Amino acid sequence: MRLSLAISTGIATLLCTHVITAFAPQLTTGTNTRASSASKMSAQSEQCTRRQSLEQAGLIAVGSFFANASPAAAKQSSQEAALEVDKQKLVAGYNRLNYLLDNWEKETTNCKTKTQYSSASNPCERTPLRVQIYLGYTSTEDPLFRADKTMRRLEVLVPAGSEVEYLDAMEKYNEKAEEGSGNAYTSSWGEANPGGGKDRIEYFVERAKSNVVDARDALGVVVKILGLV
């Protein structure tokens, strides 16, 4: 902005100088002619001075407007982009939970790797810790990682009148996701603990599934309120 102002001011000055020079008195003219030319030159000089002042004032005003508006516009654009990312995360996480529930047995069972607890009658092992992956507890790259904070940031988009419903759904999701992760972890140790067995694994796997259903439903309310589904 400063460079443009300097260039514009310089151009205006050169133009004014050219005009003033054109009306400069010639040494060969008479006294009356010189006086008339001097008068014209003075008038042109005053006019140029006023013009320069107006141009500089206009440039300063325009420059100030863009200097003040640009940071605000950039900040707003950055915030909108961040909210878009958060919305995509919730939708992706919601779809992943639906996939997990639709493919529960396949996603929580491993028939390829044998362990000390495998048997001829039941060669497959349950892998309940995969529940934690879908709930965002194993990686910062998971779409539901710190979903509570994601939903908090998106509160600004909640329509008027839906605030209470949104907060209730958010709290329920957080509660059921925590319970689901805990039951999945307990299930993974069900057979190794004293007195444990495959029945304990199955028991806690099913509890984890119930938690995931509730978490998915609560998240469904959240994305619906936000108009994402």
Question: pLDDT digits over 123-151, tens only?
Answer: 788 899 999 999 999 999 999 999 999 99
- Please tell me whether residues 68 and 103 are part of one structural domain: no
Do 152 and 221 fall into the same domain?
A: yes
DSSP, res 154 = G
- Is 205 in the same domain as 216? yes
pLDDT of residue 21: 47
Q: How far is CA 28 from the centre of its chain?
A: 75
Do 145 and 135 fall into the same domain?
yes
Q: Which structural domain range is residue 156 located in? A: 76-225
Residue 77: CA atoms inside 13 Å, Cβ hemisphere, count?
Answer: 6
pTM: 0.66
- Rounded distance, CA 183 to CA 208, Å? 5
Other Cβ atoms closer than 10 A to 76: 10
Which segments in the chain show pLDDT lower than 50? 1-12, 14-29, 31, 34-35, 38, 41, 116-118
- Quick one: 86 and 54 in the same domain? no
Same structural domain, 16 and 84: no
For residues 2 and 106, give the distance between their C-alpha atoms in angstroms, rounded to a whole number: 66
d(CA 224, CA 157): 12
**Whether residues 12 and 94 fall in one domain:** no
User: 46, 74, 102: which is the final residue of a domain?
Assistant: 74
94, 15: one domain: no
Could you tell me if 103 and 216 lie in one domain? yes
In whole angstroms, give the CA distance from residue 43 to residue 20: 9
Pick the last residue of a domain from 74, 100, 123: 74
One domain, residues 88 and 124: yes
- Predicted confidence at residue 60, as pLDDT, reads 55
* Alpha-carbon gap, residue 170 to 155, rounded angstroms: 10
Among 56, 74, 92, identify where a domain stops.
74
Q: Check: CB of residue 84 under 8 Å from CB of residue 196.
A: no
- Whether residues 60 and 130 share a domain: the answer is no
Round to whole Å and give the CA distance between 87 and 89. 5
Residue 198 confidence (pLDDT): 81
Domain count, the chain: 2
Q: Are residue 69 and residue 121 in the same domain, yes or no?
A: no
Contacts of 24 (CB under 8 A, 6+ apart): 37, 41
